[in-house]
Amino acid sequence: MELKQLKYLITIARCKTMLKAAEELYISQSGLTRSIQSLEEELGMKLFDRVGNHLVLNEYGKIVVEDGEKIVNSVENLQEKVKQCYYYNTHLCIGSCAPAPLWQVRYLMKQQYPHIPFKHELNGNNEELLKKFNEKEFAALILDYPINRKDVICFKLCEEVLHISITKDHPLSSKKEITFNELDGFNFLEYNDVGYWHDVCTQNMPHSHTVVQNDLDLYKILQNQSSLITFRTSLTIPMFHLYEDRIYIPITNNEAKLSFYFICHKEDYSKVELIKEHVNEVDWTHYRREDFEIG
């Protein structure tokens, strides 16, 4: 009995006719018939009864289908498990709660481990990320809080501080630092949804209004031709500073600071240990540049 024959029989049972089953299996009806006849000869019994012009599974065929489905599912689960194990051992899979620190790790991987295949997942749900990490779907995680466990290595990747970005003639341009309270009531321009920072700003500046623009070209026009305040962070300013003539002022509230941590299974740490050694060597002027993108 071959696994292929079980799959054929299960498909016939679901499709009700040989013709439909053959079409779904992308084989000829005669080829499907021969395969089932071969299975019946091997078992020494018929698996179908003919009722009028239709073939109907008899009690023996039903037993084969019922237990055969369990066998096929078990084999498919085994194949998937082996594939996942192989992929885990030959690729570096990392989950991250935020884009900037993930780019930092991708940059370092390209610099220090250019020959290691790299896969990543960006997910704002820390619980889902941690679940996949614990189930060994990820070799490492990037979270906005540390994890202290005996089975993991954890170290700080970077700190992100929210800034405002303003023109040089703006009334706030002379300030060296600023608070949410001082900004509450001003209007802001925001490109799309900046996730975590959008929520922080909305909560801490209830009297402010934000113009959210999804069109990048229109966003740039509004930024260049208006006095609306925009946001940057300490991680993105090195890149933006190259092509925009604006002043960046840090927001000093604790809510405007976020630290990110790299968490790795101890048994996988040898694959990424150079990340910790070179964590402060990232050139953020390349942030989101295609030549530092890893598929």
Q: What confidence tens digit (pLDDT) does each residue in 93-121 have?
A: 899 988 889 999 999 988 888 888 888 88
Q: What is the DSSP letter of 156?
A: E
pTM of the model: 0.64
Local confidence band at 87 (pLDDT 50, 70, 90 cut-offs) = low
Question: For 54-71, what is each residue's pLDDT tens digit?
Answer: 778 889 989 998 998 999
Local confidence band at 52 (pLDDT 50, 70, 90 cut-offs) = confident
Report d(CA 283, CA 279) in Å as an integer: 10
Nearest to 67 by CA among 105, 133, 26, 13: 13
Question: For 180-192, what is each residue's pLDDT tens digit?
Answer: 999 999 999 988 7
Mean pLDDT across the stretch 204-214? 91
Nearest to 55 by CA among 23, 19, 3: 19
Mean pLDDT across the stretch 109-138? 88
Bridge pairing between strands 247-250 and 257-265? unpaired
Count of CB atoms situated within 10 Å of the CB of 53? 6
Local confidence band at 137 (pLDDT 50, 70, 90 cut-offs) = confident
Count of CB atoms situated within 10 Å of the CB of 10? 18
Alpha helices in 135-241 (DSSP H): 180-183, 196-204, 216-225, 237-240
- Checking if the pLDDT of 243 tops 70, the result is yes
Mean pLDDT across the stretch 36-41? 90
**Structure-derived torsion over alpha carbons of residues 107, 108, 113, 119, reported in degrees to the nearest 10:** -60
Mean pLDDT score of the chain:
88
Report d(CA 6, CA 98) in Å as an integer: 46
* Angular region, 52: left φ>0, alpha ψ -120 to 50, beta rest: left
Report d(CA 87, CA 137) in Å as an integer: 9
- Checking if the pLDDT of 261 tops 70, the result is yes
Mean pLDDT across the stretch 250-267? 95
